[in-house]
């Protein structure tokens, strides 16, 4: 298991030729393992001047107790990190495999060797599924990321060897990892998700590079591999979800709102926004988040202005979507059923965001009750919120107001995505959020942003800006004290 560090653990990485250093170093869930010269920041410190302050970072993602850990490396250095002798692209994450070796620079005779970091789908299973291994310039590997009723997600990469041969150039860099989602559906519905995703271009929405349909009606969606896991696994500690700080929650909400506003302006409603469909680029505060899984998204730009099918997940679904606990048609909530109501619009996504925000701030799902679908649906229809619970004690009133405005059962009173961005909880920190978004999410440098003063000119931190973020995003000269987090039960 990756949540333990033991000398004989199969999920730890091993090093060779490092006299005086530990023989084996564990990669743990919920911890970034850092190598470099910085004694305060790094877990393994080097004195070699060629090694950067923070040279490279490792982490492990475990989606659930039954899945294999997925371990990543990201190069943060000035002089480069090498994986199996090939240079890594700076600030890009790479999925590690059993036996991989890592050198901190090209003249380094010392190497770290990794063992048993995750399992791949075997070739017989791969062949049994009938997937194609080569799709144009793409190569599909047998490395399984995840699977479910929707299909399978595998690791893929661009096969550029033929292009390089034609151009007479040969790259010594490690190929970047991508994900390919392979869906088996009816021919009439094969390209629904692909058509929606191909028209989207936003930093907080999964980027699709290519789609392909084979002779067996398998749809291949080649997209970015987001290496930080999903928000559910990020919040999961043992058998329960835990809260994160208000500041960290705010940065995540801010990004989701930008993504939703973009979608809704395009006439697209996600309809299945939940913790599992929000991906992180790294399992740490102030990382870029990405909305994924548009399998039941609806494009209203060329259709009706309202929707009339029951889809999504009950825990996150707005009351107007139409789940009813006393009808068999709703027991399988992935099945569409005709509503007996007036339909619903894009504000159903804002209700889902309200549930997500409630969970991030408290570790508690607002309408979960005893966990049964009937209880969840009935509680959501009433819409009663309990802000007197101890988990809300340290949360600002503006944050409570934001949650209350999103979890409003009267759709006409519920905020839309644009109104949400102007809510006091967001607007009070607008300039600071813009700066973080530009510098940490979009990676816009100060030099590149001189023409847009709104991105980098921000006031000092407000008194409510409590949580200590990475030093690169602390806005004033004083470092706020870290507030103790509360765990929801």
List the catalytic residues: 272
What span, in angstroms and rounded, lies between the C-alpha atoms of 177 and 100? 15
Which spans in 244-346 are helix H?
Answer: 246-265
Three-class SS of residue 243?
Answer: coil
Pair 326, 351: CB distance under 8 Å: no
What span, in angstroms and rounded, lies between the C-alpha atoms of 292 and 273? 9
The conformation of residue 171, written as its DSSP 8-state character, comes to -
Furthest-apart CA atoms within the chain: distance in Å: 72
Pair 360, 354: CB distance under 8 Å: no
How many other CB atoms are found less than 10 A from the CB of residue 192? 18
**489: its two tokens:** 């039960």
What span, in angstroms and rounded, lies between the C-alpha atoms of 6 and 24? 9
Bridge partners (DSSP) listed for residue 211: 221
**298: its two tokens:** 């609806």
Q: Encode 155-175 in three state secondary structure.
A: EEEECCHHHHHHHCCCCCECC
**79: its two tokens:** 């002089």
Pair 313, 277: CB distance under 8 Å: no
Helix-helix angle 246-265:397-406, to 10 degrees:
30
How many other CB atoms are found less than 10 A from the CB of residue 396? 18
Which spans in 13-149 are helix H?
Answer: 123-129
């Amino acid at each position: 298991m990756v949540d333990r560090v033991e000398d004989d653990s199969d999920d730890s990485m091993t090093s060779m030729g490092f006299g005086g250093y530990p023989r084996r170093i564990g990669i743990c869930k919920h911890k970034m393992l850092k190598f470099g010269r910085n004694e305060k920041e790094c877990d393994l410190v080097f004195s070699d001047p060629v090694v950067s302050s923070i040279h490279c970072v490792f982490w492990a993602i475990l989606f659930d107790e039954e899945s294999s850990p997925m371990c990543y490396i990201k190069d943060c250095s000035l002089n480069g990190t090498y994986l199996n002798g090939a240079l890594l692209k700076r600030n890009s994450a790479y999925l590690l495999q059993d036996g991989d070796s890592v050198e901190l620079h090209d003249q380094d005779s010392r190497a770290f060797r990794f063992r048993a970091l995750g399992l791949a789908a075997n070739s017989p299973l791969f062949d049994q599924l009938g997937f194609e291994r080569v799709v144009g310039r793409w190569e599909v590997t047998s490395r399984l990321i995840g699977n479910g009723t929707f299909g399978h997600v595998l690791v893929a990469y661009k096969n550029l060897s033929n292009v390089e041969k034609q151009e007479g150039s040969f790259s010594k860099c490690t190929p970047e990892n991508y994900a390919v989602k392979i869906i088996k559906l009816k021919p009439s519905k094969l390209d629904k998700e692909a058509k929606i995703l191909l028209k989207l271009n936003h930093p907080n929405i999964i980027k699709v590079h290519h789609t392909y349909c084979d002779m067996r009606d398998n749809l291949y969606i080649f997209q970015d591999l987001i290496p930080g896991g999903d928000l559910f696994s990020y919040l999961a500690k043992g058998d329960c979800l835990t809260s994160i700080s208000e500041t960290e929650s705010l940065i995540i909400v801010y990004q989701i709102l930008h993504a939703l506003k973009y979608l809704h302006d395009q006439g697209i409603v996600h309809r299945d926004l939940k913790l599992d469909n929000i991906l992180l680029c790294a399992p740490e505060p102030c990382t870029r988040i990405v909305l994924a899984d548009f399998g039941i998204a609806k494009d209203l730009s060329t259709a009706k202005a309202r929707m009339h099918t029951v889809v999504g997940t009950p825990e996150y679904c707005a009351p107007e979507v139409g789940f009813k606990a006393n009808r068999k048609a709703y027991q399988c909530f992935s099945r569409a059923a005709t509503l007996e109501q007036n339909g619903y619009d894009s504000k159903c996504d804002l209700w889902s965001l309200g549930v997500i925000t409630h969970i991030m701030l408290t570790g508690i799902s607002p309408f979960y009750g005893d966990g049964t679908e009937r209880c969840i649906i009935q509680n959501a229809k009433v819409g009663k919120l309990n802000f007197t619970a101890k988990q809300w004690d340290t949360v600002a009133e503006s944050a409570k107001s934001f949650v209350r405005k999103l979890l409003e059962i009267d759709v006409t009173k519920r905020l839309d995505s644009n109104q949400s961005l102007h809510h006091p909880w967001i607007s009070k920190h607008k300039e600071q959020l813009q700066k973080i978004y530009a510098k940490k999410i979009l990676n816009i440098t100060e030099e590149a942003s001189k023409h847009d003063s709104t991105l980098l000119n921000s006031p000092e931190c407000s008194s409510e800006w409590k949580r200590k973020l990475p030093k690169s995003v602390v806005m004033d000269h004083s470092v706020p004290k870290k507030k103790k987090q509360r765990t929801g039960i």
